């Protein structure tokens, strides 16, 4: 059963990540939705993207598999909101993000464009729930007004 989850998680991760986006690749393509955390830092996304960091102790963690499936089902909604998903499933590697955010087991963290930690959840969240949280952020509301051509109040 563990092999099935591992195979599913690896297949899902490989299908979501760019072929060249690996932990060792520090210069991963910033336009890819899902990237391995590796030694990435949150500062490189400041004012450019809204990172969603997904931690797990293993790629076979059912919560991780479910979260990645949620993301795979609706990537367009996240791309529209300037989201980048960073994944870390190797606690032994002690990545910079893992040291900074200090997860315990599975954890999902939503970070605003200004670097503020908006949300920490110990269980998977659907893209719909994530989108609603993002859409409440002041910078996102300004982005929506700018797209509509509505003057700021």
| Domains of the chain with bracketed CATH | 2-17+30-148 (3.40.30.10)
The neighbour count for residue 63, using CB atoms within 10 Å, is 17
Among candidate residues 25, 33, 69, 70, the one with its CA nearest the CA of residue 51: 33
Structural element, H or E, at residue 142: helix 138-148
E strand or H helix that includes residue 118: strand 117-121
- The pTM of this model reads 0.78
Residue 28: the pLDDT is 55
Q: Could you report the per-residue pLDDT of 120-144, keeping only the tens digit for each?
A: 999 999 999 999 999 999 999 999 9
DSSP 42: G
> 13 and 68 in contact (C-beta within 8 Å)?
yes
SS (H, E, C) 49-94: CEEEEEECCCCCCHHHHHHHHHHHHCHHHHHHCCEEEEEECCHHHC
In whole angstroms, how large is the CA radius of gyration of the chain? Answer: 15
Cβ contact 26:39 at 8 Å: yes
Q: What is the rounded average pLDDT of the residues 38-60?
A: 95
Report pLDDT digits (tens) over 4-37. 444 444 444 545 444 333 333 445 555 699 999 9
Q: Which residues contact 65 (CB under 8 A, 6 or more apart)?
A: 5, 8, 9, 12, 59
Mean pLDDT of 33-46: 94
* Mean pLDDT over the full length of the chain: 85
Q: Would you state the pLDDT for residue 6? A: 43
**Is residue 82 over pLDDT 80?**
yes
Q: Is the pLDDT of residue 65 over 70?
A: yes
């Amino acid at each position: 059963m563990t092999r099935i989850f591992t195979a599913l998680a690896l297949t899902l991760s490989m299908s979501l990540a760019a072929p060249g986006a690996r932990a060792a690749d520090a210069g991963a393509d910033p336009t890819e939705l899902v990237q391995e955390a590796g030694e990435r830092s949150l500062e490189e996304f400041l004012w450019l993207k809204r990172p969603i960091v997904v931690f797990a102790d293993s790629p076979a963690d059912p919560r991780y598999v479910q979260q990645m499936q949620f993301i795979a089902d609706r990537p367009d909604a996240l791309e529209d909101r300037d989201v980048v998903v960073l994944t870390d499933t190797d606690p032994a590697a002690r990545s910079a993000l893992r040291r900074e955010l200090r997860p315990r087991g599975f954890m999902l963290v939503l970070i605003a464009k200004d670097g503020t930690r908006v949300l920490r959840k110990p269980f998977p969240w659907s893209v719909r729930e994530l989108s609603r949280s993002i859409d409440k952020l002041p910078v996102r509301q300004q982005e929506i007004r700018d797209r509509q051509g509505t003057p700021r109040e």
